[in-house]
Amino acid sequence: MKRKNARLLQIGALAISAALLTSLSAHADTPPSPGLTMDEYRVALEQFKADRQTFNQQIRLRDQQINQINQTLNATVNKIKKDAKRTMALAKSPEEKSAILTSQQNAIAAAIVDHDAAIANLGNPPTPPVEPMRPYGNPSGIKPANPGQPSPGQATPGMGINKKVGAKREN
C-alpha cells in the first residue's frame, strides 16, 4: 500500500513539474507584441485604402479583359456554327454531313483551347490588401455613443421578459 501511494506521489509530482516547465518555456519563447499605436494605425489604414483602390482597379481591368476574351470566344463559336450550318445545307451524303459535324466540333474545341490559353496568359488575379488591425483598448479616449442604449437583442427591464409565459391573466 505504501508503494502505491509513493508511486502516485511520484507520478503527480512529475506531471506538475512537466506542466510548469512547458508553461514557463512557452512564456519565455514569445516576446511581447507591442502592437500599433493609434497614429501608426491611421497611417496603415490610409495605405490600406489606397491599396484597396488600386486592387479594385486591377480587378475591374482583369474583368474587362476576361469579358473581351469571352466575347471573342462566343463570336468564334457562332461563326463556326453558322459556317457549318451553311455547308450542311450543301452536303448530300451522310459521310459529308458527319465530316462537317466533326470539323465543327474540332474547331470549337480549338477555340476553347485558345480561350483557356488567353485566360491563363492574364496570370493570377491580384491579391487583396490586408486591413491593419486596430490597436487594443480605447487609446483615443473617445467614449462610445449612447452608452445607455441597449444593444439589439439585449434585455431591458420593462420589455416583458419577467412575465410568465402562458400564465393566466388575473382580473
pLDDT tens digits for range 36-81: 788 888 999 999 999 999 999 999 999 999 999 999 999 999 999 9
Quote the pLDDT of residue 21.
Answer: 47
How buried is 92 (Cβ within 10 angstroms: 0-12 exposed, 13-18 middle, 19+ buried)? Answer: exposed
Confidence grade of residue 27 (pLDDT, cut at 50, 70, 90):
very low
Looking at residue 155, its amino acid is: A
Helical segments of the chain, H only: 2-29, 38-90, 94-121
Q: What is the pLDDT of residues 88-116, one digit of tens each?
A: 999 999 999 999 999 999 999 999 999 99
From the centroid of its chain, how far is CA 93? 56
The yes-or-no verdict on residue 31 having pLDDT over 50 is no
Quote the pLDDT of residue 120.
Answer: 95
Confidence grade of residue 6 (pLDDT, cut at 50, 70, 90):
low
